[in-house]
Amino acid sequence: MLAAGCSSKALIEQPYAAAPTSTTIKSISYPSQLGDLAPVSSAPATTAAPAPVPGQAAPAPEPPPPATTPEPQGAPPEALASVSVADEVLARISYPWRYKLPGWHLQFSNGRRGYQGLTFTYDKRIEIYVRPGMSIDELVHVTAHEIAHAIDVEHFNDAHRSLIRNVRGYSASVAWWPGNGANDMASGAGDWAETFAYWQAGPQGGWSSQLSGPPSPGELATLSALLP
């Protein structure tokens, strides 16, 4: 889906039914360049207590800090995601996206209401929203779907897209890019992304395209040959 007010390739979104969130772990960002460093969190600064002055009574101990309330459900996505889950998902993506999509960043964050993945093409940024209860297979599928959008805007042209239409069996009258507010599963771009995701995650990751069924082995062989 495209956000209102954006051009057709500015923001490609993958909508799903809303679900509550409860995880509270910071987000993890994976740049595409080689030599990436794992994110490092800084420990909070502490101040040492002053030394006692001779002849003066020791100061009374500081009262304990007030109890904190856990972060509420629906926290901002930049606050959350699991390093181990993100690493496991990316280990399942066989396509070398770090080499083929230079300058792109992929970030795993806490679940976002209404979406599981967003591709910001102008910013070269992919966001994956991890919800409680999502399987690794589902996350691999969503991640690969968004990577496919990045491949599309970076490497494909009209000839590539025409071939994909022919192989997948839908007509040229079907819009390739979803319009503002439209579900990308009814567009050529969405069907291509689902096809790529099916190739990477397998049938256990799911299937959501509204244009056609899952790709056959022959279709996957033809379309994978288009990849840079």
Output the pTM of the full model: 0.69
Residue 45 in domain? no
User: Between helices 158-168 and 188-201, what is the axis angle to 10°?
Assistant: 70
Q: Which of 46-50, 118-122, 158-162 has the highest mean pLDDT?
A: 158-162
Q: Residue 209: which pLDDT band, with cuts at 50, 70 and 90?
A: very high
Residue 129 in this model has a pLDDT that exceeds 80: yes
Residue 20 in domain? yes
The stretch 148-158 carries a mean pLDDT of: 97
The stretch 171-182 carries a mean pLDDT of: 82
For the stretch 57-96, pLDDT in tens is 555 544 444 343 333 344 344 434 567 889 999 999 999 9
- Number of structural domains, the chain? 1
Q: Residue 136: which pLDDT band, with cuts at 50, 70 and 90?
A: very high
Look at residue 8 in the predicted model and tell me its pLDDT.
40
Residue 211 in domain? yes
For the stretch 106-125, pLDDT in tens is 999 988 888 899 999 999 99
Candidate from 1-5, 118-122, 140-144 with smallest mean pLDDT: 1-5
Residue 49 in domain? no
Contacts 24+ apart (CB under 8 A), 124-132: 124/150, 126/150, 127/77, 128/81, 128/89, 129/77, 130/23, 130/80, 130/81, 130/82, 130/85, 130/86, 131/19, 131/21, 132/19, 132/20, 132/21, 132/22, 132/23
Percentage of the chain modeled with pLDDT above 90? 55
Residue 201 in domain? yes
Retrieve residue 46's tokens: 């502490």
Q: Which of 15-19, 25-29, 47-51 has the highest mean pLDDT?
A: 47-51
Residue 213, domain extent: 11-34+74-224
For the stretch 179-192, pLDDT in tens is 755 679 999 999 99
Provide the 10 A C-beta neighbour count for residue 109. Answer: 25
Instruction: Please calculate the CA angle 41-44-49 and round it to the nearest 5 degrees.
Output: 155
Residue 69 in domain? no
Tracing tokens 């599309």 back to the chain, one arrives at 152
List strand residue ranges (DSSP E) for 70-114, in order.
Answer: 105-110
Residue 5 in domain? no
Distance CA(167)–CA(218), nearest Å, equals 9
Look at residue 18 in the predicted model and tell me its pLDDT.
30
Percentage of the chain modeled with pLDDT above 70? 63
- Cβ(109)–Cβ(81) under 8 Å? yes
Residue 59 in domain? no
